[in-house]
Structure 1
Amino acid sequence: MPLLTLKIDADTYRGTREGVPNLVRLLSKYQARATFLFSLGYDHTGWALKQVFRPGFFQKVSRTSVVEHYGLKTLMYGVLLPAPDIGKTCAKYMQAVSNAGFECGIHTWDHRVWQDHVRQRDAAWTSQQMQRSFDRFSQIFGRPPKTHGAAGWQMNPYAFEQLEKFGMAYASDGRAMLTEDGALADQTAGPHRLQVNGKTLACIQLPTTLPTLDELLGRSFNGIELTPANIAAHILALTATPRDHVFTLHAELEGQKLAPIFEQLLQGWQEQGYDLVSMEDYFHHIKDQALPTAPLTWAELPGRSGEMIMQPS
């Protein structure tokens, strides 16, 4: 039975309080397992306004209705409203996820700060950010985190080395290259180990192998625009041929306005014969396999602005 790993990024204060509990209920309904990755520090979502000068930003905003999905209040955090401390104010919501039987891990300390700056920062800054996340997670859950999924698929060599210091055996920090319509460009893409600064790291990377909803919504293929009414069918067509996949979803999207689409995907994947699993489940499935190694590589993906960590084809 092929495995489809569900990786859930909780980027914001609102997503953690509202989207996360909704997803726990929906996943439990279908007896699906998943991994929730939490932003554990401040919500500076409003700082995303700086991205207006990045290529593709306006196009993405117009396609995905950012204000509708994230809420005007969230878009003011760090600008006109103080940034809430997610880990301090939402600990009970995170603990409820673990108590419901779902794997939990680190997404980041401050999503906006990490996504915008990590690629240019040094070892000291990187270590400080990651240690704050590690300590806050341990405080909330009473145990150290076992896994990590980078905010915006943004990392640097020091960050990968820090995962080694934390002793993490697996993480999902990057992407697999996709074609324009979201199909895998290389069918051999999947779990691998990274080579960083001439060293092959022990931590196994489980890259996202499917497009996200916000990368597809509003785009057109073969003259057909992808809308909430037909996007699930498009993604299910990408998974029609059985193979292991990792799908990244967001508490702010699939946990709220786009929940009906995600429910269609859950139904469809189960009908296609997939076992819906967590990152931990996937790791245990592949950990004894001979995995390829890959250099640290950056590239862009259709439907998303800016470069991100990419498994080379």
Structure 2
Amino acid sequence: MAKIALKVDVDTLRGTKEGVPNLARTFERFGLKATFLFSLGPDHTGWALKRVFRPGFLKKVSRTSVVEHYGIKTLLYGVLLPGPDIGKQAAAEMRAIDLAGHETGIHTWDHTAWQDAVRNRDAQWTQIQMQKSWDRFVEIFGHPPATYGAAGWQMNEAAFEQLDLWGIAYSSDGRAGANLAPYRFALPSGKAKHVQYPTTLPTFDELIGIDDADEFAAVKKILELTQSNPNDQVFTLHAELEGQKLLPAFEQLLAGWLNQGHDLVTMGELHQSWAATKQLDKIAVQPVTWGEIPNRSGELILQAA
């Protein structure tokens, strides 16, 4: 059957200190490895409150119980409480993931600042933010990141060019349809060197609350999408969600995928499988494209049709 890459986005201090160890124990029990992408600087989750005016944001918040998943304290970071430095306060939890043999990479420096601003920021701002994340990653892990995955699926052309300057071979920065088709971006500097593996499956928070679906109904929906599907997929989960309250449902999803016969892998293993068959020599080169997906507010990087 197909490969399904497990990509864990880690957005907050709480997610790093609580959700990440929870997921590590689950993966160990199932005998699996995943790709963990860390937010490495300040936790300014409270700044996201300004998204209240974005179309669809309030509907999403009401469906997915943001307060329950993230906690009041996290939602006050950057508003009524100073934003804690995740990389300083949770370095031990990050290193434990690396030592356990999971793949580790960069998610962002300041998740909320990046997600809300990067699309319209210039190259200088972008490079400063990215270099901070690179320097902190190396400080914590003692080696460069294996990969990258954009916060909120938000990037700009300068950010993609920076991935090439770093020598990142593969990244997952956008969204796509039901079947994985890796591609490279057409950038002002030319064809990108790195390969994009976009998230192809819906996330838990995009399914919960739709037609009154709970997290276990979301599992059923995702399993329906992967049943008898011979195409590789990328699934994004969040340490704040599947690593905490939604962990029992995520464990049910893992068991369901294994029962379907899928090979659950890291992003690196997915990339190696495509490289080994020479398929990457023939992949499309596409422009940086933005669009909307069902049940998520705002535009994000979306693979061209």
TM over 0.5: yes
Residue 3 of structure 2: aligned partner: 3
Supply the distance in 2 between the matched residues of 1:33 and 1:276 (Cα, whole angstroms).
8
Residue 167 of structure 1: aligned partner: 167
1:192·1:291 contact (CA, 8 Å) conserved in 2? yes
Which residue among 194, 210, 214 is the counterpart of 2:185? 194
Compute the displacement of 1:229 (Å).
3.3
Supply the distance in 2 between the matched residues of 1:258 and 1:231 (Cα, whole angstroms).
11
Supply the distance in 2 between the matched residues of 1:219 and 1:24 (Cα, whole angstroms).
29
Q: Deviations over 1:95-135 (max 9, x none)?
A: 00011110000000000000000011001100000000000
Compute the displacement of 1:145 (Å).
1.1
TM-score, length of structure 1 as denominator length: 0.94
Supply the distance in 1 between the matched residues of 2:70 and 2:89 (Cα, whole angstroms).
18
Q: Does residue 1:295 correspond to 2:295, yes or no?
A: no
Residue 220 of structure 2: aligned partner: 233
Supply the distance in 2 between the matched residues of 1:169 and 1:198 (Cα, whole angstroms).
17
Residue 211 of structure 1: aligned partner: 202
Report SS of the residue matched to 2:192. Answer: strand
RMSD: 0.9
Supply the distance in 2 between the matched residues of 1:100 and 1:229 (Cα, whole angstroms).
29
Residue 282 of structure 1: aligned partner: 270
Report SS of the residue matched to 1:176. Answer: coil
Structure 1: gaps (5+ residues): 178-183
Residue 253 of structure 1: aligned partner: 241
Supply the distance in 2 between the matched residues of 1:79 and 1:141 (Cα, whole angstroms).
30
Report SS of the residue matched to 1:25. Answer: helix
Compute the displacement of 1:31 (Å).
1.0
Compute the displacement of 1:174 (Å).
0.5
Q: Does residue 1:309 correspond to 2:296, yes or no?
A: no
Residue 59 of structure 1: aligned partner: 59
Residue 48 of structure 1: aligned partner: 48
Compute the displacement of 1:294 (Å).
1.4
Q: Deviations over 1:37-57 (max 9, x none)?
A: 000000000001100000001
Residue 180 of structure 1: aligned partner: none
Compute the displacement of 1:190 (Å).
2.2
TM-score, length of structure 2 as denominator length: 0.97
Supply the distance in 2 between the matched residues of 1:229 and 1:251 (Cα, whole angstroms).
18
| Amino acid corresponding to residue 253 of structure 1 in structure 2 | L
Residue 76 of structure 1: aligned partner: 76
Supply the distance in 1 between the matched residues of 2:189 and 2:19 (Cα, whole angstroms).
41
Structure 2: gaps (5+ residues): none
| Amino acid corresponding to residue 203 of structure 1 in structure 2 | H
2:204·2:215 contact (CA, 8 Å) conserved in 1? no
1:190·1:209 contact (CA, 8 Å) conserved in 2? no
Structure-to-structure mapping, 1:105-144, within 5 angstroms: 105-144=105-144
* Larger helix percent: 2
Compute the displacement of 1:228 (Å).
2.3
Residue 258 of structure 2: aligned partner: 270
2:103·2:146 contact (CA, 8 Å) conserved in 1? no
Compute the displacement of 1:198 (Å).
6.4
| Amino acid corresponding to residue 295 of structure 2 in structure 1 | G
Supply the distance in 1 between the matched residues of 2:108 and 2:215 (Cα, whole angstroms).
29
Supply the distance in 1 between the matched residues of 2:239 and 2:269 (Cα, whole angstroms).
21
Q: Deviations over 1:223-261 (max 9, x none)?
A: xx3112322111100111232000000000000000011
Residue 242 of structure 1: aligned partner: 230
Supply the distance in 1 between the matched residues of 2:28 and 2:127 (Cα, whole angstroms).
36
